[in-house]
Amino acid sequence: MKIKYELVKKDKNTKARYGILYTNHGSYETPIFMPVGTQATVKTLSPEELKEVGSAVVLANTYHLWLRPGEDLVEKAGGLHQFMNYDGPILTDSGGFQVFSLAKNKKKDIVEEGVHFKSHLDGKKLFLTPELSIQIQNKLDSDIAMSFDECPPASADYAYLKNSVERTLRWAKRGLAVHKNENQSLFGIVQGGAYADLRKFSATETVKMHFDGYSVGGVANDGESKEDMYAAVDYSIPYLPEDKPRYLMGIGEPEDLLEGVERGIDMFDCVLPTRLARHANAFTRKGKINIRNAKYKEDFTPIEDTCYCYACKHYTKAYIRHLMVAEETFGSRLLSIHNIRFLIKMMEEIRLAIQKDTFSTYKHEFLEKYKGVKND
């Protein structure tokens, strides 16, 4: 079965929307935040811990799994769900973003057929095409697959982007043509930088291909400004159908989740909560804190009094700080649990606010308190 999106309620004051995503692995309310399990594991966490924090869909990276352990092995294992022991929905990206961000020395050669580049692991020459990306994802057997797109750099000019958008459309069509997995949905990706006409063109043409959902891409690049990101969403959303889910790729800062939801986005993913954890950072309602800070040395209170995650229920800042200073991985694990729970809880509150038509107030009040302070 393909996924189905049900739009339940629109916010009265913004474009925010509350809906339900029906999948082969359960039904989930949207807007939703999806943690990332790059290599078929959300770093440091078990599937049970993901469920305990209220996590539903997880993302896995096609590029990484293509290189290791290989899609054929995952297929032999019975697909990603069985391989990684996760019975919730799994979304795989196309590999496109990694090719453009991780390729060795950042060098790649984009041709009509696909992209030539070298492995970030061993420098081996690789060639990824729209067809191959879909074929890999078919074998991985994720619930949702993504079309292979070009992710142009933030510095790309209009002429470059115009060409790129057209190629991405041709690639989307080619991917669609080889997509064979009946139980896997396929999303199209809208590109076009921060140009209104390119986004409109990309969205309109992509929608004509009747994908199961649509993503706003090209917004998580290095050097991309927040204004350009919000513009990209604003310029894309009006041309996307209301009865399909909309996914903003690679975005996880709390302020960006709020901006995305306000503009009509239903799905988000980001490595941020787990990456922050490994760098000893924790989300709090007052902004990010760095638990290694000396002021937490004798702080025998939880990361947040108002959080009921496993880390906050049982452990103090002083203990987690000790673990991080002593380089014990249980520390990153506790911080990962807390950080993912923080974003999931935020989305729970956002969904409630949309249902009560109080999203704007919620956003305002959240941002009032949340300073986004790094390394306090």
By CB under 8 A, how many residues form the interface with a second copy?
35
Q: Where are the beta strands (DSSP E) in 264-313?
A: 267-270, 281-284, 287-290
Q: Rounded to an integer, what distance in angstroms lies between the CA atom of residue 222 and that of residue 335?
A: 25
332 binds a second copy (CB under 8 A): yes
Q: How far is the CB of 318 from a second copy (least distance, A)?
A: 6
83 binds a second copy (CB under 8 A): yes
315 binds a second copy (CB under 8 A): yes
Q: Which stretch binds a second copy (CB under 8 A): 162-170, 247-255, 295-303, 359-367?
A: 295-303
With contact defined as beta carbons under 8 Å apart, do 9 and 298 qualify? no
44 binds a second copy (CB under 8 A): yes
The smaller minimum CB distance to a second copy, of residues 40 and 350, is found at 40
Q: Which run of H or of E encompasses 213?
A: strand 213-216
* Bridge partners, 281 (sequence order): 290
Q: Rounded to an integer, what distance in angstroms lies between the CA atom of residue 50 and that of residue 335?
A: 13
Q: Which stretch binds a second copy (CB under 8 A): 61-69, 185-193, 223-231, 279-287?
A: 61-69
Q: Rounded to an integer, what distance in angstroms lies between the CA atom of residue 54 and that of residue 345?
A: 8
Please name the residue that has the structure tokens 């022991």.
85
46 binds a second copy (CB under 8 A): yes
The smaller minimum CB distance to a second copy, of residues 92 and 202, is found at 92
Q: Which stretch binds a second copy (CB under 8 A): 79-87, 228-236, 279-287, 347-355?
A: 79-87
63 binds a second copy (CB under 8 A): no
124 binds a second copy (CB under 8 A): no
Q: Rounded to an integer, what distance in angstroms lies between the CA atom of residue 305 and that of residue 315?
A: 11
Instruction: Compute the residue count for the chain.
Output: 376
41 binds a second copy (CB under 8 A): yes
102 binds a second copy (CB under 8 A): no
Residues 6+ away with beta carbon under 8 Å from 232? 192, 193, 194, 199, 216, 218, 219
73 binds a second copy (CB under 8 A): yes
Helix and strand totals (H; E) in the chain: 15, 16
Q: Rounded to an integer, what distance in angstroms lies between the CA atom of residue 146 and that of residue 182?
A: 15
Please name the residue that has the structure tokens 């889910």.
245
* Bridge partners, 268 (sequence order): 33, 248
76 binds a second copy (CB under 8 A): yes
Of these, 2, 10, 69, 292, which contacts a second copy (CB under 8 A)? Answer: 69
Is 149 an active-site residue?
no
297 binds a second copy (CB under 8 A): yes
98 binds a second copy (CB under 8 A): no
The smaller minimum CB distance to a second copy, of residues 24 and 329, is found at 329
Residues 6+ away with beta carbon under 8 Å from 249? 93, 97, 189, 215, 216, 217, 219, 220, 269
**Token pair for residue 312?**
């906050």
Q: Rounded to an integer, what distance in angstroms lies between the CA atom of residue 319 and that of residue 333?
A: 13
Q: Which stretch binds a second copy (CB under 8 A): 78-86, 107-115, 283-291, 368-376?
A: 78-86
Q: How far is the CB of 334 from a second copy (least distance, A)?
A: 9
329 binds a second copy (CB under 8 A): yes
Per the residue annotation, which of 11, 93, 143, 256 is the catalytic one? Answer: 93
Q: Which stretch binds a second copy (CB under 8 A): 7-15, 21-29, 73-81, 353-361?
A: 73-81
**Token pair for residue 46?**
């078990």
**Token pair for residue 69?**
């352990």
196 binds a second copy (CB under 8 A): no
The smaller minimum CB distance to a second copy, of residues 74 and 261, is found at 74
50 binds a second copy (CB under 8 A): no
Q: How far is the CB of 125 from a second copy (least distance, A)?
A: 21
Pinpoint the alpha helices (H) of 214-358. Answer: 226-236, 254-262, 272-278, 310-314, 317-325, 329-355
Is 269 an active-site residue?
yes
Per the residue annotation, which of 11, 141, 256, 269 is the catalytic one? Answer: 269
Query: Which active-site residues does the annotation give?
Result: 93, 269
Interacting residue ranges for a second copy, rule: CB under 8 A? 39-41, 43-46, 64, 68-69, 73, 76-78, 83-85, 297-298, 300, 314-316, 318-319, 321-323, 325-326, 328-330, 332-333
